[in-house]
Structure 1
Amino acid sequence: MQASIQPIFTWSQERIFAGGTQNVILLIEWKGISGKEESRRQSRKVVAREIELRIWLEAHVTFTECHGCTAEAGEGRSILLRLGKIQSKARKFIALEFSMAAKPAGIHEALWLQWQYKQPPVERIRELPLKKLSLEYSHHTDVLSEKCCFHVEKHLELLKTKKLLEEAVLHRTKSSVQTDFEHLRRQADDLLLLAARSGDMQLVKEAETVYKQLDAEVNVWSKTATR
């Protein structure tokens, strides 16, 4: 039976410096997949529910932050991510930040990942094969100047933007809302700077959307504050 989700993993850097602790980001994206016949009949059909991703960390790896979902502590050195459902042809993203302790030069295993989900219509539990992710450690100092993978950087900023927008709406009636607005405006500025550097029009559109929503939220907050 064909799998209902197709995951892709992208490190912010394929090589890191071996001489000290390094911070890295793992972008995880997954796409909803359905059979050809089903795809023709119903393109937005839910193809997987109750998606879970369990990640086991090697001893030199420390999990530090999650963007796009909430991480739960699992047994041993593991974390559990509950990722809900996905429709056919839809694509979702999360980003995880890790701290990597110093290691000898070479390729070292970092993470082990296992996907589990319920596959409609019979809600049968399915698992994808266990996936191993490794990173290369190098003593060459040129790796210190290597930039973050643009694909990872782009989606990390989009995930941060989504969270800030949600917080601004949630805190609309609270005194901290002005701080949220400042963070949101800075985030929109960062999106524009990244767009200018890369020429990515999706980032331009996202920044414009943030500015418009920010203006709308400020107007709503101003009316509420003057009552």
Structure 2
Amino acid sequence: MIRVLVADDQTLVRTGFRVILEAEGDIEVVAEADTGTAAIRQSQLVKPDVILMDIRMPELDGLSATEEIRRHPDPPTIIVLTTFDQNEYVYRALQAGAAGFLLKDSPATRLIAAVRAAATGDSLIEPAITRRLVEQFVAPATPQALPPELTALTDRELEVLRLIARGLSNAEIATELTVAETTVKTHVARVLTKLNVRDRVQAVVVAYKTGFAPRT
């Protein structure tokens, strides 16, 4: 079972997420929190695998809560819930250690896929969020045949990076390339190592910053 903590100050949102997630046989909502402080406390108490973290909450906002939780040993994977008018918060969430970003009005299938991806050490990033984030915070680059930063990557690794930049999870990339998900995980790990980045979110930023990934 994938153990999930839902942190949001709106009761209806938490209830909706619980209903959607617990309709799946492999996901259980083990706790809820309506403030950032409560999210930190519940995280320590129930040890969830994944946290769905809203940004705007009373007492302590979701970004500060994310930073605090990520300081603890063996922290859970945190997916930040956001809206289109919160680009600056998304950037801060990336710096705080969030593993993924999800629009609060995303379809149920996307929410479920994000939780499952996070539970396996993967991350699912809404392409629309990534594009807006990069457009606001990353200076544009003139596309080149192959940016110098990416010359160490093999053809297959470049293909994987392009799909990561589209917001695909490991499972979705495996389907796209008709290979095993374990193979994709190996390629992703090599891409992160060669780019010297912490996670796939930062890899996406590199892809856009160098002009390798198109912004349209």
Greater per-residue helix proportion:
2
> Normalising by structure 1, what TM-score?
0.25
With the length of structure 2 as denominator, give the TM-score of the two structures.
0.26
Structure having the higher strand fraction is 1
Ranked by relative contact order (alpha carbons within 8 Å, sequence separation 6 or more), the top structure is: 1
The structure whose Rg is larger is 1
